[in-house]
């Protein structure tokens, strides 16, 4: 027999940041994967200026899960109310609010309140899930506070960019190559080893050993959420490059009448404390930005090239049949 447990949670943190900055971070959930460790990808579906709906992939009790949320945003009161419309896990009902209060110029308080109902086979499992939800909320509070307190540096530490290639051929073999990350060693020059697990269809966990431009090896660990019908692979690195505190992005295959455009998008946060350790005592953030842009851009191009070649070979094989 299933056990149902309900709990109301409420926590607050004070931040050395303007209330408007803190509210902006709460309101823009599309940036949460860069700031919150449990958030993998957020995609806004619609927004009318007051109400929005967004689809989110996040770790729930250690497992990537999808969920659909509806929110009401009140910028004047700096308050956001949220309700989950469709759950992907054992949390059957959840909703609550974020609110930001100005304490003094340059100081603000962020309060998170949430009601959660979970259903599990055993009481101990229900309590564990509630504890996990509580821990995730507290972590989100603290990470948003940290991001807000560093708001003056966000323009210098945040970086987004794309690389793309044009393929005169069908989308399917291109996506097949990008999806088959386990086959990249020996085909993608900078990838020397790849380990891939797929516990549920379309959700991959990968560990890659890569060679940097200077020949040194480094390891990244990622979760990838794959959508073959849409030609998209969303990823978040759980163990990013040593210069980065966060790295998310997307591979997308965009067909049109004459072929496909393949795009690699990257959104990163630099780890300011790692700049001198990784690049040397004279390095600054500007140099780190150039390094990351050049390094990740070169790796993306080095992956897009073999994907393009794989598509060409697939087309030639079909024509020879």
Least confident interval from 32-46, 176-190, 228-242, 298-312:
298-312
Whether residue 184 is predicted with pLDDT greater than 50 in this model: the reply is yes
The average pLDDT across 274-281 equals 94
Give 156-320's CATH code, choosing from 3.20.20.70, 3.30.530.20, 1.10.3720.10, 3.40.50.720.
Answer: 3.30.530.20
Q: What is the pLDDT of residue 121?
A: 66
Q: What is the pLDDT of residue 255?
A: 92
Q: What is the pLDDT of residue 321?
A: 41
Q: Name the segment(s) of the chain with CATH classification 3.30.530.20.
A: 3-149, 156-320
**Percentage with pLDDT > 70 across the chain:** 94
Q: What is the pLDDT of residue 91?
A: 61
Q: What is the pLDDT of residue 316?
A: 55
For 3-149, CATH number? 3.30.530.20
Write the pLDDT tens digit of every residue in 5-62.
778 899 999 999 999 999 999 999 999 999 999 999 999 999 998 999 999 999 887 8
pTM of the model: 0.91
Where does the pLDDT of residue 86 fall: very low under 50, low under 70, confident under 90, or very high at 90 and above? low
Q: What is the pLDDT of residue 318?
A: 44
Write the pLDDT tens digit of every residue in 237-269.
999 999 999 999 999 999 998 889 999 999 999
Cα–Cα distance measured from residue 114 to residue 130, given in angstroms and rounded to the nearest whole number:
11
């Amino acid at each position: 027999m299933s056990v149902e447990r309900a709990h109301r949670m409420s926590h607050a943190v004070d931040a050395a940041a303007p209330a408007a900055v803190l509210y902006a971070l709460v309101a823009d959930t599309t940036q949460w994967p860069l700031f919150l460790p449990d958030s993998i990808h957020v995609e806004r579906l619609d927004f009318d200026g007051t109400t929005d709906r967004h689809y989110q992939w996040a770790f729930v009790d250690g497992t990537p899960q999808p969920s659909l949320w509806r929110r009401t945003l009140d910028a004047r009161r700096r308050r956001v109310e949220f309700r989950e419309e469709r759950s992907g896990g054992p949390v059957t009902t959840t909703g609550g609010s974020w609110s930001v209060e100005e304490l003094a110029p340059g100081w603000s308080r962020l309060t998170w309140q949430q009601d959660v109902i979970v259903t599990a086979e055993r009481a101990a499992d229900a309590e564990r899930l509630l504890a996990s939800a509580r821990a995730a909320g507290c972590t989100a509070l603290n990470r948003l506070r940290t991001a807000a307190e560093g708001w003056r540096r966000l323009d210098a530490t945040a970086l987004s960019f794309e690389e793309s290639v044009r393929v005169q051929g069908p989308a399917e073999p291109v996506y097949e190559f990008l999806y088959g990350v386990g086959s990249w060693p020996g085909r993608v020059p900078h990838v020397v080893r790849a380990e891939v697990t797929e516990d549920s269809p379309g959700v991959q966990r990968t560990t890659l050993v890569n060679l940097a431009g200077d020949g040194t090896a480094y390891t990244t660990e990622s979760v990838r959420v794959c959508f073959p019908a849409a030609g998209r692979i969303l990823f978040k690195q759980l163990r990013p490059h040593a210069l980065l505190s966060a790295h998310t992005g997307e591979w997308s295959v965009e067909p049109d009448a004459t072929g496909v455009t393949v795009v690699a998008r990257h959104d990163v946060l630099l780890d300011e404390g790692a700049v001198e350790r990784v690049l040397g005592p004279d390095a600054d953030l500007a140099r780190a930005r150039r390094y990351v842009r050049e390094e990740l851009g070169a790796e993306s191009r080095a992956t897009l090239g073999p994907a393009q070649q794989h598509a060409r070979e697939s087309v030639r094989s079909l024509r020879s049949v």
